[in-house]
C-alpha cells in the first residue's frame, strides 16, 4: 500500500465527507420533525356501516375484501359498556328472517357465525326473554364484513359494535389497501396512542 | 440415499405444495362467499377456516421442501477448491536465499575419475561416456571432478564445457536430495504447469536462475512429458508421480516425501 | 326492569303472528334506550374488557434497528476480515428468518426510500426515528465498507442468495444496461411517493416480489412473480438485487466512495482466475473487483486458493 496520498484518495475522501454531511443534515432534519408510530384505524364517524341514517342497505364489506392480510385485519368489536344486552339482538339475529317456534328469528345475521350469545346476570328461570344476553364476537371467525355493524345502530341498536383495525393482525402498510378503496375515506392514519 | 434423490424428493414435495395452493386458490374463486341458508353458511365458514389452515401448513412444508432441495441441489454444482488445513502451512517463511549459488562440499574425486577413465578410455571419443558416468555417480558434474578429468585425459576443458552445456541432462550445479520433475508437456502446460512450477519455486525459495533450494533438499526440473496426461498437471518426486495438482497440493506432494 | 319485560313481551307477541311473506321486514323495536349497567343486570355480572391489541411496542422497533446495525457489522467483519463464506451463509439464514419471515419484511430500508422522500418534501408528513435509522444505516455502512447490507442482512437479498445454484455469466453490456433499470425504478418510486396524499402510491411496497412469500399470502400475481424471481434466481444470480432494487442503486453510489471493501489484487505470480469464475454477479472485471456491483457474497474469497494472502487492500 502506497504511503503517498493520491489525488484520487483526496477526491474520494472529500466527496465522502460531503455525502456524510448531507446525510447527517437530512437525518437531523427528519429526526427533528419525527413523530411516534402511526397506525391505521377505522373512523366510525365516517364508516358507512356505522353512520346513522343508512339502514336497510347492504353492509359495505370493503374492509374484508381489500385487506392484504388473508383474513382481514379489521374486525367487528363490541363495546360492552354500550351494548344493550337485548334478548333479540339485531346484529345477532337477522330480524328480516321468519320467526321460529320459540319466537326468535330463524336465521343468524353473521355469515361466519362469529357472534356468541349467552345469558348473563340474574337469570329468570321461567322466561328466557326476561334475561340479559351478552354478545361476544369470536375474532378468529369474524372477517369484518360489517353486517352486524350496519344493524347495530339507531333505530334497532345502540351502536356498540364498530369495525376496528386489530393491530396484532394489521401489518401497517405504508398505504392501507382498504383506505385506498374506501369511498368515505374512513380508514385514516392516527398516532398509535390515539388509535388504540 | 444420495443427495440427488433427496433433491428430487424435496423438489416433488415442493411442487406438490404449490399445486395444492394453486388448486385451493382456484377453488375459492368459484365458491360463493355467502348464503342465506344457515347450514350452508356454517359449511362455508368451516370450509374457509380449514382452507386457511391447510394453506398455512402447505406454505410451511413448501418452505421446508424448498430449503431441502436447495441444500441437496447445490452440492455438486461447483467443484470445491481444496484448501490446506492450515493456511500457515502454505505460507512457509523460509530464510532469504544466500547471495551465491550453493557450493559443493569437499569430496575426493580423483579415485572415481581414475576408475572411470580406466574403464572407458582416455580419448576424446570417451568424453560423453565419461561425463555420463560422473553424472550418474555424483548426480551432477562437479568442477573438481572435471578438472581431474581434463588432467588425466586428452579432453580439453573447452570441449567439456561445450559438451556438458549442449546436453540438457548434464548438470553443472549440485542437485538436491530429491529431484522433482514437473511435466511441461502439452496437456500439463494447458492445465497450469507454469503455475505449479512457479509455486514450487516460491515455496522452496529457490533463487532466480537456480533450480535447487538453498537447503539442497529439492531440485525442480521442468521436463517434457511424463506420459500421464489424464492426470495433468503432473510432477514426479524421485520417480513417484503425483497428479491432478493445484499449487497447494503440489507443495504438499513435496512434504509427503520429506 | 318491568317496563323492559312488558316491551319485550309485546314485541314477541307481535313476532309470533304468522305472516305470508317471509321477506317482509319486521318492525323491530329495540327494548332499551341506554345500555344497562352491571348493577341493573345483577347476578354478580362484571363488564368484560374489550380487547385492544396494541401495535408493536416501540422498544421492539428499536431492537429491530439495533439488530440491523449489528448484522451489518457482523457481515463486514465476516467478509472483509474473516473471509468466511460459511458463516456468512448462516448470517443470511438468520436475517431471512428474522427480517424476512418473522418481521414479514416490514419495515425494510428499500421501502423506507419512499417514506424518507415524502418526509423530506412534505411538511405535513413525518416519520418515526426508527424509519430514518433504517434508511440511513445501510447507506452509512456502504460509504465505508461497501454493500454489507446486501451481503448478509437484506431479507430479499438473502432469499435470492440462498437459491443461487448454477449461475450463468451475464454478458457485461447486458448487465450494465439492465442495471440502469434500478435507477428508473428509483425515480418512479420517489416520483409516485411524493405525490399528494390521495394519489400517493407506494410502488416499492406494492410491487415487492418477495413480501408475499414472507407473509405466506398476498395477491396471487405477486406470489407468482415472487416464485418466478426465485426460480430465475437459481440460474441467473440475484436478478432483483442487481437490476431492480432501487436501494441497491443508492448503495452502488455510496460504495464508489467506500474506503474499504472487497478487493482483489491480481497476483503477479498466480493469476488463476478462480475468483472470476466463482463470482456469480459479474463483480470482477479484469481480475479486479467492481465494488459497486459486489454483493458481498464472499464467494471469491471462498474460491481463492491463496485466500488471505492474495486479497489485500489495494
Q: Please state the ipTM of this predicted complex.
A: 0.82
| Contact predicate B244/B229, CB 8 Å | no
**Does residue B102 lie within any of the structural domains?**
no
Q: Is the pLDDT of residue C314 over 50?
A: no
B148 and B92, same domain (yes or no) = no
In chain A, residues 114-153 whose CB comes closer than 8 Å to chain C:
120-123, 127, 129-130, 132, 134, 136, 139
| Nearest Cα residue in chain A from B46 | A112
| Nearest Cα residue in chain A from C5 | A130
Find the helix or strand (DSSP H, E) in which A119 lies: strand A115-120
B17 and B63, same domain (yes or no) = yes
User: What three-state secondary structure class fits C75?
Assistant: helix
How much is the pTM?
0.70
Domain with B39, as residue range(s), is 3-73
The rounded mean pLDDT for chain C is 85
B91 and B183, same domain (yes or no) = yes
Least confident segment among C162-171, C173-182, C246-255: C162-171
pLDDT at C269: 53
Q: What integer is the mean pLDDT of B40-52?
A: 82
pLDDT digit string (tens) for B82-109?
555 555 555 555 555 555 555 556 667 8
CATH number of the domain at B226, please.
3.40.30.10
B209 and B91, same domain (yes or no) = yes
pLDDT at C309: 44
The rounded mean pLDDT for chain B is 82
pLDDT at C238: 94
B91 and B209, same domain (yes or no) = yes
Q: For residue A97, which of B178, C24, B240, B45 has the smallest C-alpha distance?
A: C24
Highest mean pLDDT among A1-10, A124-133, A178-187, C134-143: C134-143
Whether the CB of A141 is below 8 Å from some CB of chain B: the reply is: yes
> Cα–Cα distance between C157 and C241 in angstroms, integer?
6
> Cα–Cα distance between C81 and C73 in angstroms, integer?
11
Q: Is the pLDDT of residue C28 over 70?
A: no
B92 and B188, same domain (yes or no) = yes
User: B28, B34, B51: which to substitute to probe chain A, counting the most A Cβ within 10 Å?
Assistant: B34
Domain-wise residue ranges, chain A: 1-34
C178, HSE (Cβ side, Cα atoms, 13 Å) = 18
Q: What integer is the mean pLDDT of A52-79?
A: 82
Q: What integer is the mean pLDDT of C267-277?
A: 71
Using beta carbons and an 8 Å cutoff, which residues of C are at the interface with B? 162-163, 165-166, 216, 220, 227, 269-272, 274, 278, 302-309
Whether the CB of A138 is below 8 Å from some CB of chain B: the reply is: no
pLDDT at B46: 84
Q: What integer is the mean pLDDT of C218-237?
A: 91
CB contact under 8 A, B45 and A141: yes
Find the helix or strand (DSSP H, E) in which B69 lies: helix B38-73
DSSP string, A182-194: -TT--EEEEEHHH
pLDDT at B95: 56
Q: Is the pLDDT of residue C151 over 70?
A: yes
Least confident segment among A63-67, C33-37, C290-294: C33-37
B182 and B216, same domain (yes or no) = yes
Q: Is the pLDDT of residue A153 over 70?
A: yes
Environment class of C223 (CB within 10 Å of its CB; exposed 0-12, middle 13-18, buried 19+):
buried
**Phi (first) and psi of residue A120, to 5 degrees:** -135, 170
pLDDT at C308: 47
Highest mean pLDDT among B12-21, B80-89, B152-161, C276-285: B12-21
Indicate the pLDDT class of residue B128, thresholds 50, 70 and 90. very high
B91 and B184, same domain (yes or no) = yes
Whether the CB of B249 is below 8 Å from some CB of chain C: the reply is: no
B240 and B184, same domain (yes or no) = yes
**Does residue B138 lie within any of the structural domains?**
yes
pLDDT at C210: 93
pLDDT at C290: 87
The rounded mean pLDDT for chain A is 86
pLDDT at A157: 81
pLDDT at C310: 40
CB contact under 8 A, A30 and C132: yes
Distance of CA C230 to the CA centre of its chain: 15
pLDDT at C19: 45
How many separate domains does chain B show? 3
Amino acid at each position: 500500500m502506497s504511503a503517498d496520498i493520491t489525488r484520487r484518495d483526496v477526491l474520494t475522501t472529500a466527496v465522502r465527507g460531503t455525502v456524510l454531511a448531507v446525510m447527517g443534515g437530512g437525518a437531523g432534519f427528519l429526526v427533528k420533525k419525527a413523530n411516534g408510530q402511526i397506525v391505521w384505524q377505522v373512523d366510525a364517524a365516517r364508516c358507512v356501516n356505522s353512520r346513522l341514517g343508512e339502514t336497510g342497505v347492504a353492509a359495505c364489506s370493503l374492509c374484508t375484501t381489500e385487506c392484504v392480510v388473508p383474513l382481514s385485519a379489521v374486525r367487528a368489536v363490541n363495546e360492552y359498556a354500550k351494548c344493550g344486552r337485548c334478548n333479540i339482538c339485531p346484529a345477532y339475529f337477522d330480524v328480516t328472517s321468519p320467526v321460529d317456534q320459540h319466537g326468535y328469528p330463524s336465521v343468524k345475521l353473521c355469515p361466519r357465525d362469529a357472534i356468541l350469545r349467552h345469558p348473563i346476570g340474574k337469570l329468570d328461570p321461567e322466561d328466557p326473554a326476561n334475561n340479559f344476553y351478552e354478545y361476544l364476537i369470536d375474532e378468529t371467525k369474524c372477517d369484518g364484513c360489517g353486517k352486524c355493524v350496519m344493524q347495530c345502530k339507531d333505530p334497532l341498536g345502540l351502536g356498540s359494535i364498530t369495525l376496528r383495525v386489530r393491530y396484532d393482525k394489521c401489518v401497517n402498510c405504508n398505504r392501507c389497501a382498504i383506505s385506498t378503496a374506501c369511498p368515505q375515506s374512513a380508514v385514516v392514519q392516527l398516532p398509535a396512542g390515539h388509535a388504540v | 440415499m444420495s443427495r440427488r434423490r433427496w433433491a428430487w424428493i424435496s423438489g416433488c414435495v415442493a411442487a406438490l405444495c404449490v399445486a395444492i395452493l394453486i388448486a385451493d386458490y382456484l377453488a375459492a374463486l368459484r365458491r360463493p362467499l355467502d348464503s342465506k341458508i344457515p347450514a350452508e353458511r356454517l359449511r362455508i365458514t368451516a370450509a374457509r377456516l380449514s382452507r386457511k389452515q391447510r394453506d398455512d401448513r402447505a406454505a410451511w412444508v413448501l418452505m421446508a421442501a424448498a430449503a431441502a432441495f436447495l441444500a441437496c441441489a447445490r452440492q455438486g454444482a461447483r467443484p470445491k477448491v481444496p484448501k490446506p488445513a492450515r493456511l500457515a502451512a502454505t505460507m512457509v517463511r523460509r530464510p532469504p536465499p544466500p547471495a551465491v549459488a550453493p557450493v559443493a562440499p569437499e569430496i575426493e574425486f580423483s579415485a572415481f575419475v581414475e576408475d572411470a577413465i580406466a574403464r572407458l578410455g582416455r580419448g576424446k571419443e570417451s568424453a560423453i561416456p565419461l561425463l555420463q558416468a560422473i553424472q550418474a555417480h555424483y548426480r551432477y558434474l562437479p568442477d573438481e571432478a572435471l578438472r581431474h578429468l581434463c588432467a588425466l585425459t586428452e579432453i580439453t576443458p573447452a570441449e567439456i564445457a561445450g559438451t556438458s552445456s549442449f546436453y540438457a541432462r548434464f548438470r553443472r550445479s549440485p542437485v538436491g536430495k530429491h529431484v522433482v520433475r514437473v511435466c511441461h508437456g502439452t496437456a500439463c502446460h494447458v492445465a497450469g504447469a507454469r503455475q505449479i512450477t512457479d509455486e514450487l519455486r516460491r515455496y522452496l525459495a529457490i533463487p532466480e536462475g537456480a533450480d535447487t533450494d538453498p537447503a539442497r533438499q529439492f531440485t525442480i526440473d521442468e521436463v517434457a512429458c511424463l506420459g500421464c496426461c489424464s492426470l495433468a498437471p503432473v510432477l514426479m518426486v524421485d520417480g513417484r508421480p503425483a497428479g491432478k495438482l493445484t499449487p497447494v497440493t503440489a507443495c504438499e506432494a513435496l512434504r509427503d516425501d520429506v | 326492569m318491568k317496563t323492559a319485560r312488558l316491551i319485550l313481551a309485546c314485541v314477541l307477541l307481535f313476532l309470533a303472528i304468522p305472516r305470508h311473506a317471509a321477506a317482509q321486514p319486521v318492525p323491530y323495536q329495540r327494548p332499551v334506550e341506554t345500555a344497562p349497567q352491571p348493577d341493573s343486570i345483577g347476578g354478580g355480572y362484571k363488564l368484560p374488557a374489550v380487547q385492544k391489541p396494541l401495535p408493536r411496542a416501540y422498544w421492539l422497533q428499536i431492537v429491530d434497528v439495533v439488530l440491523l446495525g449489528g448484522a451489518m457489522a457482523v457481515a463486514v467483519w465476516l467478509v472483509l476480515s474473516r473471509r468466511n463464506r460459511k458463516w456468512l451463509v448462516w448470517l443470511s439464514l438468520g436475517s431471512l428468518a428474522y427480517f424476512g419471515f418473522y418481521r414479514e419484511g416490514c419495515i425494510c430500508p428499500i421501502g423506507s426510500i419512499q417514506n424518507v422522500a415524502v418526509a423530506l418534501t412534505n411538511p405535513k408528513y413525518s416519520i418515526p426515528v426508527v424509519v430514518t435509522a433504517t434508511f440511513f444505516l445501510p447507506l452509512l455502512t456502504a460509504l465505508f465498507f461497501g454493500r454489507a447490507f446486501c451481503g448478509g442482512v437484506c431479507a430479499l437479498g438473502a432469499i435470492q442468495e440462498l437459491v443461487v445454484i448454477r449461475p450463468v455469466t451475464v454478458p457485461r453490456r447486458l448487465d450494465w444496461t439492465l442495471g440502469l433499470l434500478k435507477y428508473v425504478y428509483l425515480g418512479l418510486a420517489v416520483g409516485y411517493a411524493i405525490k399528494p396524499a390521495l394519489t400517493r402510491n407506494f410502488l416499492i411496497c406494492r410491487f415487492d416480489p418477495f413480501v408475499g412469500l414472507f407473509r405466506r399470502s398476498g395477491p396471487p400475481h405477486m406470489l407468482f412473480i415472487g416464485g418466478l424471481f426465485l426460480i430465475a434466481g437459481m440460474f441467473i444470480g440475484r436478478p432483483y438485487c442487481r437490476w431492480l432494487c432501487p436501494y441497491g442503486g443508492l448503495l452502488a453510489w455510496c460504495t464508489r466512495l467506500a474506503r474499504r471493501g472487497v478487493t482483489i489484487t491480481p497476483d503477479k505470480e498466480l493469476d488463476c482466475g478462480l475468483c472470476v469464475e466463482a463470482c456469480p454477479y459479474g463483480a470482477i472485471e479484469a481480475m479486479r473487483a467492481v465494488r459497486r456491483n459486489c454483493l458481498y457474497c464472499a464467494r471469491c474469497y471462498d474460491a481463492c486458493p491463496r485466500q488471505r494472502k492474495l486479497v489485500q487492500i489495494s
